[in-house]
Chain A
Amino acid sequence: MAIKRLFVANRGEIALRIVRAAQALGIETVVAVSDADRDTAAARLADRAIVLGPAAASKSYLDPRLIVHAAKESGCDGLHPGYGFLSERAILPRLCAEYGIAFVGPEPDVIDELGDKLRARAMAKAAGVPLVPGSDCVATAADARREGDRIGYPVLLKASAGGGGRGMVIANNGDEAEAGFHRASAEAVAAFGDGTLFMERFVPLARHVEVQLMGDGRGTVVHFGERDCSVQRRYQKLIEEAPCAAMPDHLRAQLHQSAVNLAASVNYRNAGTAEFLYDVKREEFYFIEVNARIQVEHPVSEMISGFDLVQEQIRIAGGAPLSIAQKDVVLSGHAIECRINAEDVYRDFLPSPGRITRWEPPVGPGIRLDSHMSTGAMIPPFYDSMVGKLIVHGTDRSDAIARLANAIDALVVEGVPTTLELHRAIIAHPDFVANRIHTRWLEQVFLPGFGKKAA
């Protein structure tokens, strides 16, 4: 049954995004807020805002019982978890089910299975999705050489009991694999009391690519193309693009098919993203994980496909079949998103909450700003520092970069330091312009130079 009143169990820009999507569908909205978020854009726009509890997320946005209690008592028949917070905790849809509230997301059992990395890998393997080539346990130096030869160099020798990089050695050939075995095994014994090793292919120049999926829960899955999220700092994405311009078309088609097969194999319902490592040199991709939620960077897929993914999420959760067939998904142009964080890039990205004293969005064709900010808005210190996402759509990648540069220049934010200046510098860098980047590029190549220039 179609959702009539939707509970929004999140905050910030995604709460506002969900409220707007629901309103476009004629659905009432109730937004959950913490004490610190009473006066936020989503709370004002929604039909009702309900204070869950104190500012601390553990006592508000991260308490599934508080949230479902509030949803039930405010007469909601649907609940959207957004991203982060409880969005991938199976307890939320389980509690929703107890009260007949439709959860905007996958089945709780599917969330559990995908959340377990080993089980997710097994599911991917069963669906014929490529994994990073690797070995079982390696017992001797001779085994290490044989496995290394089979997997292809460079390889990573890793301690089974490991973590934190200890007991980890990179080998570029058979001799290094043998020598590396002795070293890694000794390190592993010293660190963990267990010298068991396994091996995995090491991808020195990897890109992060991911496929946007939407399933109906009955085995039909549609994809909306891939995104490239290789500009990362400490595994946090800063810039996301669609499509992955560095990927040849034949590989792109395989990537999409792999992602669809994986999701279809579990009768995936609602929005999800299959993440992959793309080995540019070998032209191969390997499964990483599935994110069972709408993602921060979903707008770039919306820009190149023209579909509203959040509206589709809400419709599916209300029991509707997919309104989009694969043949309807025609991707055009290139989109780039940058995440605007209230952080001081010159002080090691220190989160910098405070009041926005001036906020003037850019306007123009192909520009979209997803943000809950405005002049006078407050960024409380309790949550993540993202204040918005600036997204542009151009005819191709270089057109999109030019538009993004203009949009960043036109966006005025005062009152708190933001990462806008950093984004402006990244997209002007010759490596970014030539698309010669990888997941370690920002930290290894760009930031050292950026820091020096700033000093």
Chain B
Amino acid sequence: MTESLFPDALKILLEEFTRSGIRELHVRKADFELFLSTEPSSSRVGSIAAPVSEAPVPAAPSAGAAKASAPVAPAPAPAGALPDNAVIVKAPNLGTFYRAPKPGAANYVEVGSVVKAGDELCLIEVMKLFTALRAETSGRIHSVLVEDGAMVEGGQPLFALVGE
């Protein structure tokens, strides 16, 4: 259903983009990349337009914690929190974020680690099913945006990568 309606989704996105007054929009996900800009000279493919930061989510909030409510969407970081050229690696879906292949083992990556496309960065667990998340581009890990063992939501930023 979704795939066949994709042109509609794109049409809506374009309309939204035009209405919004946003100057640039850059979306990158798996084998899909979209860059929209109202600036004729713009060519920022390969970097991210607006830096984003983590949305802190407790792994298992106590009864009162949900009231405090994690934001629905990741909140934008203060300007300058990440380098302009940082590439944000996001969670493909909701799950529990694990930095190491198993308890006690070394983390897949640390801040400063250099990774190339295809390298494993972390595990996302959904009901005991563990899926490795791999880097799509090479770079150096600038920051890890989520605590080990925390629940992450779909689309939540996990790592910031900067080009070597």
A65 touches B69 (CB 8 A): no
- B1 close to A73 (CB less than 8 A): no
Report if A51 contacts B (CB, 8 A): yes
- Counting CB contacts under 8 A, is B151 at the interface? yes
**4 nearest A-B residue pairs (beta carbon):** A53-B93, A53-B154, A51-B153, A73-B151
- Cβ of A52: which chain B residues have Cβ within 8 Å of it? 93-94, 153-154
A50 close to B9 (CB less than 8 A) = no
Measured between beta carbons, the chain A residues less than 8 angstroms from B72 are: 33, 38-39, 43-44, 49, 51
CB-CB contacts of B122-158 with A at 8 A, as 1s and 0s? 0001110100000000000000000000010111100
B67 touching A47 by the CB < 8 A rule? yes
Docked complex Cα distance between A252 and B15 (Å): 52
Which residues of chain B from 87 to 127 have any CB-CB distance to chain A below 8 Å in the complex?
92-96, 125-127
* Contact yes or no, B59 A73, CB < 8 A: yes
Question: Which residues of chain B from 61 to 98 have a CB within 8 Å of any chain A CB?
Answer: 61-63, 65-67, 69-70, 72-73, 92-96
Is B34 interfacial (CB-CB < 8 Å)? no
Do A57 and B2 touch (CB < 8 A)?
A: yes
Interface residues of B, dominant DSSP? loop
Please determine whether B67 and A50 come into contact, CB atoms closer than 8 angstroms: no
Q: Are B94 and A53 in contact (CB under 8 A)?
A: yes
Looking at B5, B15, B29, which has the most chain A CB atoms within 10 Å of its CB? B5
Q: How many residues of A contact B (CB 8 A)?
A: 43
Name the distance in Å between B70's Cβ and chain A's nearest Cβ. Answer: 6
- In the complex, the answer to whether A354 meets B12 with C-beta atoms within 8 Å is yes
Report the interface size class on chain B: 35 or more
Q: Is the CB of A69 within 8 A of B67?
A: no
- Are A48 and B151 closer than 8 Å at their CB atoms? no
- A74 interface residue (CB < 8 Å to B): yes
Which of these, A35, A70, A74, contacts B66 with CB under 8 Å?
A74
A147 to B: closest C-beta gap in Å: 42
Tell me whether A382 and B1 are in contact in the complex, defined as CB-CB below 8 angstroms, given that A43-B72, A53-B94, A353-B12 are known contacts.
yes
Partner of A51, one of B62, B65, B125, B156: B156
User: How would residues 14 to 31 of chain B score, 1 for a CB under 8 Å from any chain A CB and 0 otherwise?
Assistant: 011000000000000100
Q: Which of B16, B66, B127 contacts A65 (CB 8 A)?
A: B127
Which B residues are CB-close (under 8 A) to A53?
A: 92-94, 154-155
Chain B residues close to A by CB (< 8 Å): 1-2, 5, 8-9, 12, 15-16, 29, 59-63, 65-67, 69-70, 72-73, 92-96, 125-127, 129, 151, 153-156
Interchain pairs with CB closer than 8 A, number: 112
With a cutoff of 8 Å between Cβ atoms, the chain A residues found around residue B59 in the complex are 73
Within 8 A of B (CB), among A33-74: 33-35, 38-39, 43-44, 47-60, 63, 65-66, 68-70, 72-74
Q: Are B154 and A75 in contact (CB under 8 A)?
A: no
Check A35 against B5 for contact (C-beta < 8 Å). no
| Further contacts, 13 of them, CB under 8 A, given A38-B72, A63-B93, A69-B127 | A28-B63, A28-B66, A47-B69, A50-B153, A52-B93, A54-B92, A55-B2, A63-B126, A68-B127, A69-B95, A353-B5, A353-B8, A378-B16
Rounded to whole Å, the gap between the CB of A412 and the closest CB of chain B is 21
Which of A38, A47, A57, A65 contacts B1 (CB under 8 A)?
Answer: A57
B residues in contact with A60, CB < 8 Å: 93, 154
CB distance from B74 to the nearest CB of A (A): 9
Which residues of chain B are within 8 angstroms of A58 by Cβ–Cβ distance? 2
CB proximity of B136 to chain A, nearest CB, Å: 16
Contacts of A353 in B (CB 8 A): 5, 8, 12
A4-B63, A75-B62 as given contacts; A34 in contact with B5, CB under 8 Å: no
Identify A75's interface contact among B9, B65, B70, B96, CB under 8 A. B65
Bound CA span A54–B66, Å: 23
Known contacts A35-B155, A74-B151, A75-B66; is-contact A59 B5 (Cβ 8 Å): no
Contact B154 A35 (CB under 8 A): yes
> Nearest CB to that of B73 among chain A residues?
A38
Given contacts A54-B154, A66-B126, are A30 and B93 in contact (CB under 8 A)? no
Q: A63 vs B70: C-alpha distance in the bound complex, in angstroms? A: 22
Q: How far is the CB of A7 from chain B (nearest CB, A)?
A: 11
A109 to chain B, nearest CB (A): 21
| Nearest CB in chain B: distance from A155 CB, A | 38
A2 to chain B, nearest CB (A): 13
